[in-house]
Structure 1
Amino acid sequence: MSPGYSVDDLPLIDTEVLIIGAGPTGLMAALVLARRGVPAVVVDRKAGPTRESRALAVQARTMEVYDQLGLAGTVLEKANSALRIQVGGSSRGIGPNLMNLQDGATRFPGIQIFEQSRNEELLVGALTAGGGDIRWRHRLVDLQDKTAEPDGRVEALLEDGEGGLHRVRARWCIGADGAASAVRRELNLPFEGKTDDATFWVADVRDVRGVPDGAVSIRPGKRTFVAVFPLGPGGHVRLLGLAAKDTITQDEALSAVAAEFGLTHGPVEWFSTYRVHHRVSTKFRVGSIFLAGDAAHVHSPVGGQGMNTGLQDAHNLAMLLADVAHNRVDGHALDRYERERRPVALTLVNVTDRAFTVIGRRGPSAGLVRTAFGALAFGFFPLVTRTSLGARLCGYIGQYRIRYHYTATADQTEWARDPVVGLRLPPVADNQRALDTMNWQLHTYGAGKIVRPDVPEWIVGPQEFGDDPHGRLRSDRLYLVRPDHFVAASIPLQGNNVDAAQFSDVLTAHRLVHVGR
C-alpha cells in the first residue's frame, strides 16, 4: 500500500454474508441465502469453477435439497444413476438395491453420479441468474471479527488477481475454502485427526470391461482393492484404488487392477494419486465466523459422502443465518449449527476411518481381511436387504436418516420424543414440495381441521396432508417443520386444539421470535 494511505481508503464491499470459497459448499450457501433474500458475496482465488470431476456422488438427501431449489430436474437429466451397490465381481449383483430399499423413504432413491465440476456449474448458473455476486481470483489476506464491538462487523482484506486490495464488511463470514482453509488458519483452529499411511490413486477411464452399468462396485482383493463408480454407459467409470507402494504410476496402478480383478480398460482421461485424511476442526463456529464443508471436515471419498455433507452443511447454515437475518429466530440460535453439523462430521470421519482399517491397508494380513470381508458380504448383503436393517443402512448412505438433537433433555420433553423429531420430514403426498417456499410450517397428517395455535405470523399453516401410509407421521400430532425440511417438534393434539403449554416450550427451545407475545 502506498505511503499516506490506510486500509480505510481501500474500496469497500458491504454485505450481510461473506463466503470464502466457491466450491460446492460455498456456492450452495450463497444460493440458499439469495433465495431467502439475504445479500452475500462469494470470493475464490481460482479463476473460475473447478474443471476436474473430483467428487462424484449426489445422494438422495442432497437431491431433495436441489429439488427445493428447483435444480433436481437438471441433475437427473445430466447424471448417470447408480441404483445398486455391488461387492465383488459376481454377476449375482451382491449388495443393496438402493432403488428398492430407499423407495418410499425418499423421492430420489439411488445415487446420482454427477461430478463436482457439474455441481459447481449448476450452482454458479443458478446463482448468477439471480444476480448473485461471485468474485473469482480474490485471495483472503486478513480476517477479523469485530462484531463484539459497537456497530462492529466481520472485516476482511482481499487481494484480487491484479494485486489490488479490497476490504469487505459483513455481518457473518463462512469459510468454505477447502481442507487447507485460510479461514480456519486465521481462527487458529486445530484440524484434529490423522492422515492415512497408504497411497491411493484415482482414474477416469473408458471402455472398462467387467463392471456393471448402473452400480457402484467395491472389489476387495489380496493385494489391493478398487471402488468403481459409473460415469456413463459402455464402461466409462471412475476407478479408486489402493496403491501397492508409496509412489505408483498410472500403468502400474491399472495393470494391478487388471491382474487381480480382470478389469481391462481403454483410454485414460485422468489419473492422480493422493493420501486420505480423516480430520475435523475443533470448532465450526468462532463468533460470527463459521466453517463448512472440507474447511471443517475431510475424510475418505470411498463412501461418496464428502461433497454431500458439505452441501448439507451449507444448506443448514444458510437457512439458519437467513432466519436470524429476518428476525425469525434470535441470535443465540446460531449455536445450533455446530451442535447439529459437527456430530455428523465426527460420525462420518469415524465410520470411514474404521472402514479403511478393514480395506485400506497394505500387506498380507490386510489382504486376508479384505478377502474375508468380501466373502462375508457375499452372504450378508442378500440377507440384510430383506430386513428393516437394510433400509436403515441405505438411509444412512442416502443421508436422509441424519438426526439432530435439539435439547439436552430431549428424552424428558414430550414434543421431542416422537421418533421423527430431529429427522428430515418423511415424504407424504406433496409435503416436501410445500417447503419450496423455505418457510417454517405447521403440518398435520389425518388430523382434519385444527385451530391455529398462538404462533408467529410468518409460520405457515396448519396444512393437512392426509394419513401417512407408512405410519411415521401421526394423526394425533401437530408437526412444526423447519425450512430446511427437518421436523422441529411433534406437539400433542387435544381434539382440534394443540397443547398450548407444549407449544410454548417448543417456541422457547427453538428460539423462535414471537413479536406478538
Structure 2
Amino acid sequence: MDTDVLIVGAGPTGLALGIDLARQGVAALVVERADTLFPGSRGKGIQPRTMEVFDDLGVLDAIREAGGGYPVQMIWQDGRRVGEHRMFEPVEVSEDAPYTEPLMVPQWRTQEILFARLTELGGRVAFGREVTGLDQDEDGVTVRFGATARSGAGDSLRARYVVAADGGRSTVRRALGIGMTGETVDPNPLLVADVRIAGLDRDHWHAFPPGGEAEGYLAICPLAGTEDFQMVAQFPEGTSVDLSLDAIRKVVATRSHLAPEDVTEVRWASDFRPRAALADRFRAGRVFLAGDAAHIHSPAGGQGLNTSVQDAYNLGWKLGAVLRDGAPAALLDTYEEERRPVAAEVLGLSTSVHRGETRRGGATRQLGLGYRESTLTRETRPTADGLRAGDRAPDATVAGVRLFDAFRGPHWTLLALDTEAPEPGAPVRVVRGPAHKTYGAGLFLVRPDGYVGWAGDTAAGSAEYLTRFGPGRDHRP
C-alpha cells in the first residue's frame, strides 16, 4: 500500500478529513486535480456546530480571527436605503452552546487555514493529480491518475480506503456508477463573484430587489477579513451567464445606483443552477463519498460546506478506529447509516430556506442534528427525558472541568455524573462530578466526534459497548 487512506479533493471536506486522520497517526494523502486551493468565496458560512468541530480540530481561533459576523442586510430601491433585514435572529450564548451565531469566512480562507493545520500535523496535499479511474479488491483500491507535466505519463496509487471529496461532479462517484437523486431548486441561474467595488459601505449586506430594467435580484456582501465583496445576481431561466468584467459591471450598473467603473476588479466568478441532490449510496466497498460528492445543496442557509465538514468528522474517527485500533471493519458501515439521513434532512432544510418557506434559525445552526436511530447508539435508561444517547454532547462545566476541553482530541470520554463508575480499562478520559442541569445524572460515553454513544443509570453494558465500538477492545493487533 502507498497509503492507508487516499482522499480525493482538497476542499473543506478533504482537508478536514486529512487533519482528523493526521492527528490520529493514520497515513493519508490528499490529492487535488487543480494546481492550487479553490480561490473563491462560495461556501462562506460557518455554522455553530462546525465551529465546535473546528475547535476540536485545532483551527477555530484562526477561523474566528479570519471571519466576522453576518452583517445586517440593507435594502435599496432607486438609489435610496428603504429598509433593513437581519439574516439571523440573535441567540444568547449559553453554557451548553458556546457558539450560537454563524461566522462569515470566505471559503478560500477557510481552506487556507485547514491546509496550514494539515501541514502542521505532517499531512500532505499532492496538487495537479487528476483521478481518471479506480479498481478495488478485497485488500485495497488502485487509483489511476492522468498524465502530469512533470512525468509526462499517468500513474497509480494503492490505498486501503479511498474517500471521494471531489465535489458535485465527482469523478470517483461516476467511476463507481453511483447515481444521484435530486431536483432543481430554482430554474433561474445565479452568478456568484468576488469583486472589488467602490461606493458601498462594508457594514451592511446590500440587497437590490428587481425593478426597472433588472431581470433578477442583486446582493453585494462584504467579505470579512478581506477587501472583497461577494456579489450574487439572479438571471431568468435559460440565460447564458457571462462572467467577464464588462458583463458584471453592466449587471451592477443596471440593478443598482452604482456606476460600471465602481466595479474595479473581478477576482473570481462562477455560475450555477441551484439544485438539491443526494447520492444513492455513500459507500461502495472500500470507497466512501463525502461532501458535495455525496450531497449537493442550494447555497441558501449556509448548509453545504458545514454538512460536508461534518461528514469528514464522522468518518475520520471511524477510519482511525479500524486502521489504528483494530476495530471491526463493520464499524465503517455506520458512516452511510448515520450521515445519509442527516444529509437528506439538511437538503430539505436548505431547499426550504431557498424557497422562502423556512427562516434561517435554530435548525440551520445544526446543533440539533444527531444519531438516535444509529446502530452505534445505546440508550439503556428506562426513562430519559431531555438528552439521550445519539444526541450531540453539550458543553458544560463539571467539577471545574470544561467538557469541550475534555472532549478535545480523538478519544472517547466517560462522564460519570452522580453515579459510580469503574475505570473503563481503556484509553478513555473520565470526568466525574455531580449531576448537571443539562445532562442530569448517569453515565455517558461520548464518541470522538462529540455525540453520546451510550448512556445508562449504571455501568452495566458500558464495557461490552466499548469492546464493540470503542478503544476498549481485546482484539487489538
- The TM-score, its normalising length taken from structure 2, stands at 0.83
Q: Alignment identity in percent?
A: 28
Q: Deviations over 1:329-364 (max 9, x none)?
A: 422111111111111211222223334444xxxxxx
Partners of 2:101 and 2:273 lie apart in 1 by 28
Structure 2 residue 451 is matched with structure 1 residue 491: no
Q: Report the 3-state secondary structure (helix = DSSP H, G, I; strand = E; otherwise coil) of the residue aligned with 2:251.
A: helix
Q: Match of 1:153, as an amino acid? A: G
Partners of 1:300 and 1:438 lie apart in 2 by 32
Partners of 1:180 and 1:95 lie apart in 2 by 30
> Structure 1 residues 460 and 412, CA, compared in 2 at 3 Å: closer, same or farther?
closer
In structure 2, what is the equivalent of residue 10 of structure 1? none
Q: Match of 2:421, as an amino acid? A: V
Structure 2 residue 9 is matched with structure 1 residue 44: no
Partners of 1:344 and 1:87 lie apart in 2 by 34
Structure 1 contact 85–96 (Cα < 8 Å) conserved: no
Structure 1 contact 422–486 (Cα < 8 Å) conserved: yes
Structure 1 contact 101–394 (Cα < 8 Å) conserved: no
In structure 2, what is the equivalent of residue 500 of structure 1? 460
In structure 2, what is the equivalent of residue 199 of structure 1? 189
Partners of 1:292 and 1:311 lie apart in 2 by 9
In structure 1, what is the equivalent of residue 429 of structure 2? 460
Q: Determine which of 97, 101, 104 is the counterpart of 1:110.
A: 101
Cα offset for 1:242? 2.1
> Structure 1 residues 506 and 218, CA, compared in 2 at 3 Å: closer, same or farther?
farther
Q: Deviations over 1:477-512 (max 9, x none)?
A: 1111001111112211xxxxx2414x3674477577
Partners of 2:222 and 2:44 lie apart in 1 by 9
Q: Determine which of 440, 443, 446 is the counterpart of 1:478.
A: 443
Structure 2 residue 155 is matched with structure 1 residue 161: no
1:368-383 to 2 correspondences below 5 Å: none
Structure 2 residue 286 is matched with structure 1 residue 288: yes
Partners of 1:109 and 1:480 lie apart in 2 by 25
Q: Report the 3-state secondary structure (helix = DSSP H, G, I; strand = E; otherwise coil) of the residue aligned with 1:232.
A: coil
Partners of 2:412 and 2:20 lie apart in 1 by 15
Q: Match of 1:438, as an amino acid? A: P
Partners of 2:188 and 2:371 lie apart in 1 by 34
Partners of 2:125 and 2:288 lie apart in 1 by 19
Partners of 1:305 and 1:231 lie apart in 2 by 18
Q: Determine which of 393, 396, 403 is the counterpart of 1:431.
A: 403
Q: Determine which of 160, 163, 182 is the counterpart of 1:174.
A: 163
Cα offset for 1:73? 1.0
> Structure 1 residues 230 and 416, CA, compared in 2 at 3 Å: closer, same or farther?
farther
Structure 2 residue 266 is matched with structure 1 residue 269: yes
> Structure 1 residues 407 and 44, CA, compared in 2 at 3 Å: closer, same or farther?
closer
Comparing 49-58 with 170-179, greater Cα deviation is found at: 49-58
Q: Report the 3-state secondary structure (helix = DSSP H, G, I; strand = E; otherwise coil) of the residue aligned with 1:138.
A: coil
Structure 2 contact 220–232 (Cα < 8 Å) conserved: yes
Q: Report the 3-state secondary structure (helix = DSSP H, G, I; strand = E; otherwise coil) of the residue aligned with 2:408.
A: helix
Partners of 2:74 and 2:330 lie apart in 1 by 46
> Structure 1 residues 438 and 136, CA, compared in 2 at 3 Å: closer, same or farther?
same
Cα offset for 1:130? 2.4
1:369-448 to 2 correspondences below 5 Å: 394-407=361-374, 414=381, 417=384, 419-420=386-387, 421-429=389-397, 430-445=402-417, 447=418
Q: Determine which of 117, 123, 128 is the counterpart of 1:137.
A: 128
Structure 1 contact 332–511 (Cα < 8 Å) conserved: no
Structure 1 contact 416–490 (Cα < 8 Å) conserved: no
Partners of 2:133 and 2:94 lie apart in 1 by 48
Q: Match of 2:372, as an amino acid? A: H
> Structure 1 residues 234 and 170, CA, compared in 2 at 3 Å: closer, same or farther?
closer
Structure 1 contact 328–513 (Cα < 8 Å) conserved: no
Q: Report the 3-state secondary structure (helix = DSSP H, G, I; strand = E; otherwise coil) of the residue aligned with 2:167.
A: coil
Q: Report the 3-state secondary structure (helix = DSSP H, G, I; strand = E; otherwise coil) of the residue aligned with 2:64.
A: helix
In structure 2, what is the equivalent of residue 316 of structure 1? 314
> Structure 1 residues 207 and 154, CA, compared in 2 at 3 Å: closer, same or farther?
closer
- The TM-score, its normalising length taken from structure 1, stands at 0.77
Q: Report the 3-state secondary structure (helix = DSSP H, G, I; strand = E; otherwise coil) of the residue aligned with 2:256.
A: helix
Q: Report the 3-state secondary structure (helix = DSSP H, G, I; strand = E; otherwise coil) of the residue aligned with 1:478.
A: strand
Q: Match of 2:343, as an amino acid? A: A
Structure 2 residue 421 is matched with structure 1 residue 451: yes
Cα offset for 1:418? 5.1
Q: Determine which of 250, 253, 256 is the counterpart of 2:251.
A: 253
Q: Determine which of 105, 113, 116 is the counterpart of 1:122.
A: 113
> Structure 1 residues 211 and 219, CA, compared in 2 at 3 Å: closer, same or farther?
farther
> Structure 1 residues 219 and 425, CA, compared in 2 at 3 Å: closer, same or farther?
farther
RMSD over aligned Cα atoms:
3.5
Q: Deviations over 1:437-477 (max 9, x none)?
A: 321110134x27x3326x4512221x035554xx3211x21
> Structure 1 residues 276 and 488, CA, compared in 2 at 3 Å: closer, same or farther?
same
Partners of 1:114 and 1:433 lie apart in 2 by 24
Cα offset for 1:428? 0.7
Structure 2 contact 96–396 (Cα < 8 Å) conserved: no
Q: Deviations over 1:355-408 (max 9, x none)?
A: 4444xxxxxxxxxxxxxx8xxx9xxx8xxxxxxxxxxx7342222211113447
Structure 1 contact 56–114 (Cα < 8 Å) conserved: yes
> Structure 1 residues 199 and 95, CA, compared in 2 at 3 Å: closer, same or farther?
closer
Q: Report the 3-state secondary structure (helix = DSSP H, G, I; strand = E; otherwise coil) of the residue aligned with 2:2.
A: strand
Partners of 2:110 and 2:11 lie apart in 1 by 9
Q: Match of 1:290, as an amino acid? A: F
Cα offset for 1:433? 1.4
Uncovered stretches (5+) of structure 1, i.e. residues with no partner:
1-12, 359-372, 382-392, 493-497
Q: Report the 3-state secondary structure (helix = DSSP H, G, I; strand = E; otherwise coil) of the residue aligned with 1:253.
A: helix
Partners of 1:328 and 1:416 lie apart in 2 by 34
Q: Determine which of 342, 356, 360 is the counterpart of 1:344.
A: 342
